[in-house]
């Protein structure tokens, strides 16, 4: 890809078109998931980098063999199934593991490291947001998009959902993604980039390692939905869905209403 082509792309588009770019964005602390609409030149400048340096990093990383799931070539039904299996399953298990670990670390080190109380509080806020969020996707959004895709394959209109248009739950999901992104930023700040003190025990180090991994995996998770699944679902509704304009804009996002 040329410099001119890179300059015309947003970081979300690049993360979809060139998944290897995600590794650069993570290393440079560029928000490619919730901030996916930011133009690449603006994003790299804010990170103290240049588009030329970005190209150099891509070239260096491209020497390694390609890995990972090819999200763009899959149906929306397959993508939803993979999101649920890969990201939702991991997130639920990890949050269940991290909470007692953070509680233990706080009980041992809390007097000398008061920030650990904030870490535990943020972990619980994250769980309180993400667990119901994922359930709404699995029970409301994903099944309807599956129905739309099936209808499109059969050349018939999809049934109008109770939430009027797929844009409503998607709007709510994206707002909730923004909140999760804010919590992750706070976690990184309060842990000083997940850096444990030199005297930290194994549990302390393991907590911060798991939090760093959870952040990276959650960034990928939100990116796949915000920059790939959601736009394709909206585009599909235009051909296969039957949205009810009178309901569009419902503040409840169709998930609790």
Judged against a pLDDT cut of 50, whether residue 251 lies above it is answered with no
- Region 132-157: what's the mean pLDDT? 91
Judged against a pLDDT cut of 70, whether residue 246 lies above it is answered with no
Least confident span in 65-74, 90-99, 224-233: 65-74
Domains and CATH numbers, the chain: 3-61 (1.10.3910), 75-240 (no CATH)
- Per residue in 172-215, pLDDT (tens digit) is 999 999 999 999 999 999 999 999 999 888 999 999 999 999 99
Number of Cβ atoms within 10 Å of the Cβ of 44: 22
Rounded to the nearest 10 degrees, the angle between the axes of helix 115-136 and helix 167-190 is: 160
What is the rounded distance in angstroms from the CA atom of residue 70 to the CA atom of residue 72?
A: 6
pLDDT for the residue numbered 248 = 45
pLDDT for the residue numbered 239 = 79
- Region 91-105: what's the mean pLDDT? 93
- Mean predicted lDDT score pLDDT of the chain: 87
- Per residue in 37-83, pLDDT (tens digit) is 899 999 999 999 998 888 888 877 665 444 567 788 899 999 999 99
Judged against a pLDDT cut of 80, whether residue 232 lies above it is answered with yes
pLDDT for the residue numbered 1 = 74
- Region 94-103: what's the mean pLDDT? 93
Q: Which long-range contacts (CB under 8 A, 24 or more apart) does 114-121 make?
A: 115/190, 115/191, 118/186, 118/190, 119/187, 119/190, 119/191, 119/207, 119/211
92 or 19: which carries more pLDDT confidence?
92
pLDDT for the residue numbered 245 = 44
- Region 227-243: what's the mean pLDDT? 84
């Amino acid at each position: 890809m040329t410099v001119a082509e890179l300059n015309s792309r947003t970081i979300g588009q690049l993360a979809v078109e060139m998944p290897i770019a995600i590794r650069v964005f993570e290393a440079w602390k560029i928000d490619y998931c919730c901030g996916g609409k930011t133009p690449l030149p603006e994003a790299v400048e804010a990170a103290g980098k240049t588009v030329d340096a970005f190209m150099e990093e891509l070239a260096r990383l491209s020497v390694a063999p390609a890995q990972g799931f090819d999200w763009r070539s899959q149906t929306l039904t397959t993508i939803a199934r993979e999101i649920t299996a890969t990201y939702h399953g991991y997130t639920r298990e990890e949050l269940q593991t991290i909470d007692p670990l953070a509680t233990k670390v706080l009980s041992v080190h809390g007097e000398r490291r008061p920030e650990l109380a904030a870490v535990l509080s943020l972990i619980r806020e994250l769980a309180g947001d993400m667990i119901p969020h994922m359930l709404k996707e699995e029970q409301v959004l994903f099944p309807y998009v599956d129905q739309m895709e099936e209808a499109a394959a059969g050349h018939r209109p999809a049934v109008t959902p109770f939430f009027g248009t797929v844009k409503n739950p998607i709007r709510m999901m994206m707002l909730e993604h923004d909140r999760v992104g804010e919590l992750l930023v706070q976690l990184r700040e309060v842990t000083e980039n997940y850096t444990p003190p030199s005297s930290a025990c194994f549990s302390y180090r393991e907590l911060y390692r798991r939090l760093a991994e959870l952040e990276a995996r959650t960034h990928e998770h939100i990116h796949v939905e915000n920059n790939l699944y959601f736009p394709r679902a909206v585009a599909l509704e235009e051909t296969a869905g039957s949205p009810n304009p009178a309901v569009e804009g419902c503040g409840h996002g169709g998930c609790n209403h």
